[in-house]
């Protein structure tokens, strides 16, 4: 009989992937489901990027590449870090993998020994704790508060650090809250880290280009150069260039870490698709003007969703700085009953009953490590968002 490995038994399957699959299954049965559970832009990959991929195929760019990325893509990544973040990296400090997710996993796999701790502020992107476990480490969850804009407080970080702390993972703007850290916020966190040289920082900057109200992006290696030698600055093309299916993520950091990550990828996936890498070169080197245009669409959608959710009985929704998520509190509805008499005892019950009553799929906050909240992805059209928020309002009003 088949039995899962000891390593796999430590983790769970991605809850966001599971909820999206549930929504798709309902849709295939003919239910008019609105899925606000997926974390990907609804825009298409720009044509110049698609054309670069087609050209790569025609030119025979169809072979293995260096396991951790082509020289051309590494150069384009170095130019991006210099141009947009004022960070100096050489191609030997860059790692490319099939998506941002494997970049993070390779970093953890390359660096964690049993008992090493990974500090993860909650709410967190669902994959961090399980990737830390799979790589043999121990996730240490550090809660944040809605009152603090879901940002990690320096005191909370200080209290969570131990001699075994190996990494702090910072994600700004955040999935699932949309919260972003200003340069001053990062400076305060850096001050704590400077006192603890054993702690490295992995910054997940995937949503860098989705910031609103003029909020300026900052990343910790830029804000505190003294941390440069222990920071892995991670990013990717999935969200900024609407390239989730192409599978390209990247990171830059100290050479010994990058070498170790290269060793890990050389014996696992090997290189990301040669064609996707060629497309990513065009994404990073080509025209960037569509990025703020798309961000402006997302900003309007954020405003619509925040406003409509705050009109729903029992919900409180903060206005986040970036990404394409909101993370409203459903605390005001805990203890209420549905028309069928079911008690809403948790955010998971809320999400389940909302899907049953109004066919709107959202992800419960427990999946991200902070309750009672839920996550909505607003990467969909205004009409769909209006319909979804109207259904949510109707559901909340129906609870007694």
Q: Binding of ligand PLP at residue 262 (CB under 6 A)?
A: no
> How many other C-beta atoms lie within 10 A of the C-beta of residue 308?
18
Q: Which is nearer to ligand PLP, 231 or 238 (CB)?
A: 238
Closest to ligand PLP by CB, 85 vs 244, is 244
Which span (7-15, 93-101, 158-166, 370-378) binds ligand PLP, by CB under 6 A? 93-101
Stretch of 95-103, 152-160, 263-271, 305-313 lying at the interface with ligand PLP (CB under 6 A): 95-103
* Closest of 121, 113, 264 to residue 198, by C-alpha: 113
* Of residues 132-151, those binding ligand PLP (CB under 6 A): none
Nearer to ligand PLP, 98 or 137 (CB): 98
139, 129 contact by CB (below 8 A): yes
C-alpha to C-alpha distances, 179 to 87, 171, 183, 311, 382, nearest whole angstrom: 23, 9, 13, 21, 22
Q: Is 61 helix (H, G, I), strand (E, B) or coil?
A: coil
Strands 360-361 and 231-236: unpaired
Q: 34: number of CA atoms within 13 Å, CB side?
A: 22
Candidate list 175, 276, 329, 377; residue touching ligand PLP; CB under 6 A: 175
The site for ligand PLP, by CB under 6 A, has a size of: 13
Cβ partners under 8 Å of residue 170, min gap 6: 121, 152, 181, 186, 189, 201, 202, 203, 204, 220
* Binding test (CB under 6 A) with ligand PLP, winner from 238, 271, 338, 371: 238
Does 41 contact ligand PLP by CB under 6 A? no
Pairing of strands 374-377, 249-252: unpaired
| Pick 204 or 358: Cβ nearer ligand PLP | 204
Binder of ligand PLP out of 95, 101, 294, 375 (CB under 6 A): 101
Contact 122, 143 (CB under 8 A): yes
**Least spacing, CB of residue 289 vs ligand PLP, in Å:** 23
Instruction: Pick the closer one to ligand PLP by CB: 236 or 262.
Output: 236
Residues in the site for ligand PLP, rule: CB under 6 A?
39, 99-101, 125, 171, 175, 204, 206, 236, 238, 244, 249
């Amino acid at each position: 009989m088949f039995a899962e490995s000891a390593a796999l038994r430590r983790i769970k399957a991605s809850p966001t992937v599971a909820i999206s699959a549930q929504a798709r299954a309902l849709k295939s049965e003919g239910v008019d489901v609105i899925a606000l559970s997926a974390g990907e832009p609804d825009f298409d990959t720009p044509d110049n990027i698609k054309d670069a991929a087609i050209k790569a195929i025609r030119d025979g760019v169809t072979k293995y590449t260096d396991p951790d990325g082509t020289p051309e893509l590494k150069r384009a990544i170095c130019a991006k870090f210099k141009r947009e973040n004022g960070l100096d990296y050489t191609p030997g400090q860059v790692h490319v993998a099939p998506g941002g997710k494997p970049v993070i996993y390779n970093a953890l796999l390359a660096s964690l020994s049993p008992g090493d701790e990974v500090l993860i502020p909650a709410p967190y992107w669902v994959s961090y704790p399980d990737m830390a476990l799979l790589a043999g480490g121990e996730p240490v969850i550090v809660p944040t508060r809605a009152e603090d804009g879901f940002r990690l407080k320096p005191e909370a970080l200080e209290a969570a650090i131990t001699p075994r702390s190996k990494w702090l993972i910072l994600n700004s703007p955040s999935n699932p809250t949309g919260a972003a850290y200003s340069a001053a916020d990062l400076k305060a966190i850096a001050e704590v880290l400077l006192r603890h040289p054993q702690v490295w920082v992995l910054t997940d900057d995937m949503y860098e280009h989705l910031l609103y109200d003029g909020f300026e992006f900052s990343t910790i290696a830029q804000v505190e150069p003294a941390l440069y030698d222990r920071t892995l600055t991670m990013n990717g093309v999935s969200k900024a260039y609407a390239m989730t299916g192409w599978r390209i993520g990247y990171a830059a950091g100290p050479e010994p870490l990058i070498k170790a990550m290269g060793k890990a990828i050389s014996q696992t996936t090997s290189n990301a698709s040669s064609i996707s890498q060629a497309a990513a070169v065009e994404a990073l080197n080509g025209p960037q003007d569509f990025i703020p245009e798309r961000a402006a669409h997302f900003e309007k959608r954020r405003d619509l969703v925040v406003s409509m959710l705050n009109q729903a009985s029992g919900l409180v929704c903060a206005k986040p700085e970036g990404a394409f998520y909101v993370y409203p509190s459903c605390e005001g509805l805990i203890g209420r009953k549905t028309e069928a008499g079911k008690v809403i005892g948790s955010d998971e019950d809320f999400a389940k009953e909302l899907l049953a009553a109004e066919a709107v799929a959202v992800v419960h906050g427990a999946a991200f490590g902070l309750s009672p909240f839920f996550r909505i992805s607003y990467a969909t059209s205004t009409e769909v968002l209006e319909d979804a928020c109207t259904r949510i309002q109707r559901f909340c009003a129906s609870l007694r």
